[in-house]
Amino acid sequence: MNRRPSSLVQASRRFVERVGAAIETLGAGGQRVVVAVSGGPDSTALLVALHALRRKSSADIAAAHANHALRGKDSDADEQFVRELCGRLHVPIACRRLPVGIDARDRDEGIEATARRLRRAFYSDAAMELNARFVATAHTADDQAETVLHRIVRGTGLAGLAGIPARRELTAGVSLIRPLLAIRRTEVLEFLAARGQLAREDLSNRDLRFTRNRLRHEVLPYLAEHLNPQVAEALVRLAAHAAAAQEAIGQQTAKLRRRAVVREHTRQVTLDVAPLRRASTFLVCELLRQIWVDHSWPLQEVGQADLERVARLAHDDGAAWDLPGAVRAARIRGRIIIERIA
């Protein structure tokens, strides 16, 4: 971070240019974009960069802040920081207090899964309220590397290696985009320093009881120091290759889905075992993964081994499995019935 002022200014300009190029690549150029702003360095940098771009183009921005109400006064201070920042930048903002703790207890669901679900719903509502077709989150290349490594350690398939997608559908007519996904966190901090822009720090991000934090603060630095200084970049490249392969596999999965699905509802999907028997276990697992995603079932809690157990039901009549996230899969004669029971 000890760089001459002129080099920081140049880094700041490059950062804004890269964000602008990413926005264009993601199809959001000239469109209103709602920036999901927590108040942390990454999302603050994204908001400030898009504000700088707004002055140079016809693009428009708004902001959305989700107060998870999990850290008491610190959570409220985060919200106040974001409100004041948006006020200075003259950016319209939507804020919502999310009852994460209460909702998690009511649904017997993990805190992180509950927070993700409530955030998605809020961002969808904010996009509608603020008349936007895009919601931008500030995931960086470091987040991508951490995600891929986390999934490798936990156990994953090819889809998991693809990591965080740069763009996906949030809800009908609204896309979630990640313009910082190719940008390192060090670049984010340099940009904020060049702008003299402060950001909030969530101290829970340093709590090593959480696996992601341990990967971020201990495992990845160790790998970079002792094995490969470019380990983060290597993991990001792996994600890109896996994503390209996954796109081709997705076409085959769609064909299998058309043949195998007998009935499909929000909480229950019925599959015909005949086409599943003819397909590879790998392709059946990909179909199951897509079903989980499409119905917003808690895939984060389900590992590759769980999906393989369900795939084996095509050959095991009368068998059944209780899966993480309150999902049950059972083979009944020539059908596999997968049901969210909570």
Last residue of a domain, one of 155, 188, 223: 223
Amino acid of residue 118: L
Query: Cβ neighbours of residue 331 under 8 Å, at least 6 residues apart?
Result: 273, 313, 314, 316, 317, 318, 319, 320
Across the chain, what does the average pLDDT equal?
A: 92
Q: What is the pLDDT of residue 36?
A: 98
Cα–Cα distance measured from residue 207 to residue 148, given in angstroms and rounded to the nearest whole number:
20
The closest alpha carbon to 133, from 89, 170, 91, belongs to 170
Within a domain: 147: no
Cα–Cα distance measured from residue 12 to residue 65, given in angstroms and rounded to the nearest whole number:
24
Within a domain: 279: yes
Asked if residue 183 and residue 53 are part of one domain, the reply reads: yes
Q: What is the pLDDT of residue 285?
A: 93
Q: Which domain holds residue 203?
A: 5-139+178-223
Q: What is the pLDDT of residue 10?
A: 87
Structure pTM? 0.80
Within a domain: 165: no
Q: Which residue has the tokens 């970049």?
A: 233
How many CA atoms within 13 Å lie on the side-chain side of 216? 18
Last residue of a domain, one of 223, 258, 278: 223
Within a domain: 262: yes
| H/E run at residue 339 | strand 335-340
Q: Dihedral sign, CA of 268, 161, 114, 141?
A: negative
Asked if residue 249 and residue 210 are part of one domain, the reply reads: no
In the structure, what pLDDT confidence band is assigned to residue 5 with cuts at 50, 70 and 90?
low
Are 121 and 164 a contacting pair, CB within 8 Å? no
Residue-wise pLDDT for 71-87, tens only, equals 889 999 999 999 999 99
Asked if residue 78 and residue 13 are part of one domain, the reply reads: yes
Residue-wise pLDDT for 11-24, tens only, equals 899 999 999 999 99
Asked if residue 186 and residue 248 are part of one domain, the reply reads: no
CATH number for the domain including 128?
3.40.50.620
Residue-wise pLDDT for 88-138, tens only, equals 999 999 999 998 888 777 777 788 888 899 999 999 999 999 999 999 999
The answer, yes or no, to whether residue 1 has pLDDT greater than 60, is: no
Within a domain: 159: no
| H/E run at residue 335 | strand 335-340
Query: Cβ neighbours of residue 31 under 8 Å, at least 6 residues apart?
Result: 59, 60, 132, 133, 134
The answer, yes or no, to whether residue 3 has pLDDT greater than 60, is: no
Asked if residue 126 and residue 83 are part of one domain, the reply reads: yes
Within a domain: 173: no
Are 276 and 253 a contacting pair, CB within 8 Å? no
